[in-house]
Amino acid sequence: MKNPAFAVALSAVLSTTLIGTAHADKLDSIIESGKLRCAVTLDFPPMGSRDDKNQPVGFDVDYCNDLAKVLGVDAEVVETPFPDRIPALVSGRADVIVASTSDTLERAKTVGLTVPYFAFQMVVLTRDDTGINKYEDLKGKAVGNTSGTYEAIALEKDVKAWGDGSFRAYQSQNDTILAVAQGHIAATVVTNTVAAATLKSGKYKGLKVVGDAPYVVDYVSLAAKRDEYGLINYLNLFVNQQVRSGRYDELWKKWVGDEIKPANLTVPGVYY
């Protein structure tokens, strides 16, 4: 450039512009603030709920507390209904989402998603006296599910393809489980967490889980703002460490139980 004075002025303008557009690293900001705000859904046990003292509890609550602990800060649970999870993050009301958020490509257009920290597998819930020991044994049986759910659509489709047995739709998940317990249907398909919570409740006698249903696994991720690369990298390592340290298994047994094995977080052929 032939004009040194102009070059100096331009350099100053560019430096000012860059400084103005830069923003503090979110990971540093959280550590400096001494607080981690986690968006958590509290009407989805055992992932998130409130105890008899109205305190937040559940797998996601403990996961938030674990993250805060390794960061050396206090955890703050921001109660967030499912539809409000991403708005809470984008608006700055929460620093991270720890709320069983499926890792869809559509969501990834708005927020940054980590590797899966939990996976919901569909399982077969039946009674001791049905002779059902695996999903294929549902063929020819009276089965049912909660109207409009993913698992109901999948199960009804299979019943039609088998050309044998029957399918009944129910208005709620409780109605479906009650139908199995009372013998109105032989079995249903639910998430592994719902099955575990049902068995742990002791409300229904003679129910058992007899294996996985061959449906797509619902992998869920932690989430941060899409441009917070340092925080997202940290969250990925944190998920990794939770599994390697055995903490993931501990939380699974605490909140899901021993009846069902911990969900496999790896995707065959993609990463291990």
Q: Is the pLDDT of residue 13 over 80?
A: no
Q: Is the pLDDT of residue 1 over 60?
A: no
> How many other β-carbons are positioned within 10 Å of the β-carbon of residue 133?
12
Same domain, 108 and 126: no
Same domain, 128 and 105: no
The Cβ-side half-sphere exposure at 139, using a 13 Å CA radius, reads 7
pLDDT, tens only, 37-88: 999 999 888 899 899 999 999 999 999 999 999 999 999 999 998 889 999 9
Q: Is the pLDDT of residue 226 over 90?
A: yes
Q: Is residue 14 part of a domain?
A: no
For residues 258 and 115, which has the higher predicted lDDT (pLDDT)?
A: 115
Backbone angles phi, psi at 132, to 5 degrees: -90, 125
Domain that holds residue 166: 122-212
Q: Is the pLDDT of residue 19 over 60?
A: no
Q: Is residue 187 part of a domain?
A: yes
pLDDT, tens only, 78-137: 999 888 999 999 999 999 999 999 898 999 999 999 999 999 999 999 999 999 999 999
Q: Which helix (DSSP H) or strand (DSSP E) does residue 256 occupy?
A: none
Q: Is residue 3 part of a domain?
A: no
Model confidence at 23, in pLDDT bands (50, 70, 90)? low
Q: Cα(143)–Cα(186) distance, rounded to whole angstroms?
A: 6
Number of domains composing the chain:
2
Type of residue at 35: K
Same domain, 35 and 150: no
* pTM, full prediction: 0.76
Model confidence at 2, in pLDDT bands (50, 70, 90)? low
Rounded to the nearest integer, the mean pLDDT of the chain is 89
Q: Cα(59)–Cα(102) distance, rounded to whole angstroms?
A: 16
* CATH assignment of the domain containing 41: 3.40.190.10
Same domain, 107 and 57: yes
Same domain, 99 and 160: no
